[in-house]
Amino acid sequence: MSGAGSGGKVVDWFAPVDSIDSPSNYNEVEIKQALRGQKSALDPATIKQVLRAAGFRLPEQREVFNKEHLAEECQRIGFPLAMKVIGPLHKTDVGGVRLGIQDKEMASHTWSELMAIDEATGVLLQPTIDCLEVILGACQEGDFGHLVMFGLGGIHAEVF
């Protein structure tokens, strides 16, 4: 039985190692340019720019601000797809995330519903990807320094 001072350790645990190498494709200059002057939540285009400059690979996505372009952009992404309202910060809270859009007719109907949400300015289209969704956030908190948040994303971020 292990207790205080017994020398027990977690199985397969390794001491953290500081990395001196930057991730591949990391572009600090582009990140700084994208974030210059930003004081609040970032818009989707800036988020995409920062993540790509940090070396993240992202699924294709399209921002649609005019229903006339919806069918064409859906075709480029392919079905099934996800549609998310652009504008409101907490999309799930306002019913602004729709999954499993199967065809152009369903996309058109979903567009109308999403654009009826207060503060909606457009719709983000993304391919449906079967994976574990995560959330990532960062900010600088006065003299305390940088804070980073990482965890389960999607509805799990709301529940937990």
Confidence class of residue 4 from pLDDT cuts 50, 70 and 90? low
DSSP-derived letter for residue 156 is H
Tokens read off for 2: 């292990």
- Tokens 């190498």 belong to 21
Question: How far is 98 from 91, CA to CA, in rounded Å?
Answer: 10
Question: What mean pLDDT comes out for the span 142-156?
Answer: 85
Instruction: Identify each DSSP E strand in the chain by its residue range.
Output: 62-64, 81-86, 97-101, 122-127, 134-141, 145-152
pTM: 0.66
Residue 1: is its pLDDT beyond 60? no
Which comes out higher in pLDDT, residue 19 or 113? 113
In terms of Cα–Cα distance, which of 137, 141, 157, 140 is closest to 51? 137
Work out whether strand 145-152 and strand 122-127 pair parallel, antiparallel, or are unpaired. Answer: unpaired
Query: Strand locations in 35-132, DSSP E?
Result: 62-64, 81-86, 97-101, 122-127
Q: pLDDT digits over 91-148, tens only? A: 878 889 999 999 999 999 999 999 999 999 999 999 998 888 888 888 888 888 888 9
For the stretch 77-92, pLDDT in tens is: 999 999 999 998 788 7
Domains of the chain: 27-58 (no CATH), 60-129 (3.30.1490.20), 132-160 (no CATH)
Strand 97-101, strand 81-86: pairing: antiparallel
Residue 145, strand partner residues: 141
Answer whether residue 22 shows pLDDT above 60. yes
